[in-house]
Structure 1
Amino acid sequence: MKENRLPFQQIEWWVVALVFLSIILSNILSANPFYSNYQDDYMGKYFAKLFIPIILITTFYLVHMKLIPGYFEERVKWKYGSLLFLVAFFSFVLTGAFSVSNDITKDFFMPFYFNTIAIYIGYLIFVYIMGQILAPPRLENYKPYNIVRLSAIYLFVFLFLFQFQGLGSEPIAVLFAIIIPSLILIFFYNFFLIYKNKKAGNVSTANLYLLLLAVSILLIFSLIGISNVNFPPFFFLGLAISVLVVAVLIPISNLFIEKYDIFQSEIRQLTSTVDQSKANLDFLRSQINPHFLFNILNTLYGSALQEKAEKTAESIQKLGDMMRFMLHENHRESIPLQHEKEYLTNYVALQELRLNDHEYIDIHFSRSESPCNGQISPMLLIPFVENAFKHGVSLQKKSWIKINLRCLEGSVHLDVNNSIHRGTAEDPEKKSSGIGLLNVKQRLQLLYPGKHELIIRENDEEYFVHLSIKL
């Protein structure tokens, strides 16, 4: 209600369609097949009162649901102007033919037809003005605009019914003028004075307001009866309506209010869950960043001890690229998949610089040379590769790490296979806490529920990871 404009085009269509359907049904039910002259004027007026509303609702549908939206989409004035003229012309001729031939109006220029057009145009002008005054950005949300426009729909429909009298709209006008406002008033009375007091534990106060409502209805009908010298019938009518309100309408409205409360509670719970998930995600990211930073610094430290300045310079360059990624993109909700791939490539290159001179270590990184398309949440791929270097490298025993990164249309796939060397402590990476792999599992559940596949298998000699993510 606050954040978005309500779907008024659909609301207007269903309200007007309901009104016309009610008029048509009212005319059908009011027919008297035993009328003596039903073969003559009676039957003509009967069918006229059916077909005129059908013509008008068809015209409204074509104009309101087809021509106006079509014009705003295509902006072709001559096309939609011509179609509007044809629709208005044929509806005028058909309505006039039924009206004049059956003595509903005396001349072809029917007042109710042009009054209906004037009310519709007035409604459109009113909506446009209210949109300029009440809709954002002039106001901070759509609530005032939505309330005013809903009220305007009710008001203009009532004006239409008032001027459409003589064609079967009288019962529907009474419904809109008296019954619907009364039901709305009873609903709000119940919500603010009865339901809320019961919910707060003030049962006696709620029952007092309920008794006051029943007595007020009875009193109103009694006064109407006295003013019309029909006191007993109106008294019993008021008594019947009071019983109906207390025994039927109030329980039904309570049912709707309770459903609404449950719905609101579920929304609050879901909002709280989303906020908690976002907080957890931010916390997980804050844990990941220092973890990667220390791993990379340890790699540079080992490389500086083992290699000459040339390799150290290359390592620093790659570190700079990775640090720029972490500073500028790591905290975003999503980044280009190509940037994640480049970060992963730099990480593996740093590890290769450190480990290239060790004959027992075999590192193989397979990836497509073409750019990867799509968006992905950052730092989802690197923890599995980092885990492979952490547990899959030994400087004294045969070790292997095989990485395969594939970017397809709408998905990314990572396979990591590495040897396992538990218990060795010569590599500084072994001292890290291993929090990255746990974090990435939690982030996958938060960010890609039902849209990722993570398979992890291991035995005494090797460790295998397969990760697929639908972007």
Structure 2
Amino acid sequence: MQKILKGRRLEVLLVFVCVAIYVVRRLFQEANGFDNFIYGLQPRVPGNVMWLIWRELDHYSHFWNAIFPIAGGGVLFFAAWAVFHVGLFPKLWAAESSVSTLVYAVLTVLLVVGSVFVHNYFRLYYRAMSSNDPEVIVGLRVFSEFRKLFLLTDSIAVVIVLVFYELFAQLYYYVEAKLKEEQEGGFIGHILVASMVVLLLFLAFFANLPRKDYWYGAVKELSMMAIGAFTVFFAQNFFYLEVLPNYRDFRSSEFKTGLLKFGLTLLVGTFGMYCILFIGWHSFQQVPFGWHAEWMVTMFMVFIIAAVVLAFLRKVFTKEKTQLKTQISQKTAELGNLRSQINPHFLFNALNTLYSVSLRENAAQTSDGIQKLGDMMRFMLHENHQDRIPLVKEIEYLNNFIDIQRMRIDENQDIKIEVNIQNADREIFIAPMLLNPFIENAFKHGISFRSASWIYITLTHDAQHLYFKVHNSIHQKTEDTLDDQSHGIGLENVKKRLELIYPNRHKLEIQATDHDYFVSLVLGVY
């Protein structure tokens, strides 16, 4: 924490030094420009007109009309940056709604407007007036370019500059944090810091920032680029996460909500881009006042194409990455299963022997249990390693598991188990062993021989979705189960598999209280 605070203090000092360097450079440029202007006038001004030049210059004070607005505007700009960067933005990022947030916001606005006002109101400019012969100067005009409209537009421009800096600063913080996580913050971290320092010093020494206005040049172009980039980014994100996964069920609320967010993002971005252009156009009277629908429609269509293309490219790359992760996860699981298998053929032979003995002894229930256990083992050894299996196979495994669990339970002892599993009426494929961990968890923690217990299991499906619900009672853990966390590990594994195999195509809800446990899983099986 101390390193972070020290780094932020050094950042404030660096920005202050850069603003000071820029202000001093501007002051020297203004002084040199004024001297060259006066020296250049003397050979071109007739002797009887020179007194008019000096009289007009009485209205111009280099201190109040050049030094003060540049230095004062720079100081107020630095104060606005400091309040925004250190005070306001962290609260906005944390979505903190408080009085202090409002105070920081108001103070930032006042400092921004004050900076622009001091620079524009006190700043005076001068211009030589010539006769028919451009080489002969007949007068001098001192004038101000202060306008109320410019006060508003230039204040907006300063806010945009602050936002630009904050975006780059947050990107720098993010990269720095990632380097520290990967333990590469040494040499690379120093290069990153040096790059940022060199960039800021370069802007302070050499950048030709807008002087008389902000809406003709780099600020306008950068503003448009930023708005376009953010619009396309958020639009493609909504399209990828909420529109593409639900496009087959276009009547669903998820699809309609995602499409609405996608459209609103494009509209807001298009309007923001138009506002930037409109301010520049109107400031220089390049176009008449009014709406320009053809430009807005064109930009809206450009945003749509860019967002949709990026969303589909993202889907392709994500699919390849997911397939790779799934293969790695599957190979790891297979290796674990192989390590846990102790001569499966021997186990099958042993089960067959026990099954034959139970039949000779007329132990029907025992033989049935052994047969179901053998079917479950075959499922684990063969079906469990497939990417997808028929839903019929998964249901068969679930029924076998539930029947074996029922063998050890006397349902007459205030224990209630209700199972409602809909048989598959068409060919449906799902990933194996996604459902059983929830049922296993229910029997493991939902049955007690000392108090009333119940388990309700439901599995249904329609044309596009599979609906699975498990609701069971919960009992206080005994001493021998206090340290047993295997069910938690199993459920976490299921969650990870769902994220890998069914990204944006599943909805898992888990509700737990001191008395019951409820799981609802919806899978897209279209």
Same fold (TM over 0.5): no
TM-score bucket of the superposed structures, by smaller chain: 0.3 to 0.5
TM-score by length of 1: 0.37
TM-score by length of 2: 0.33
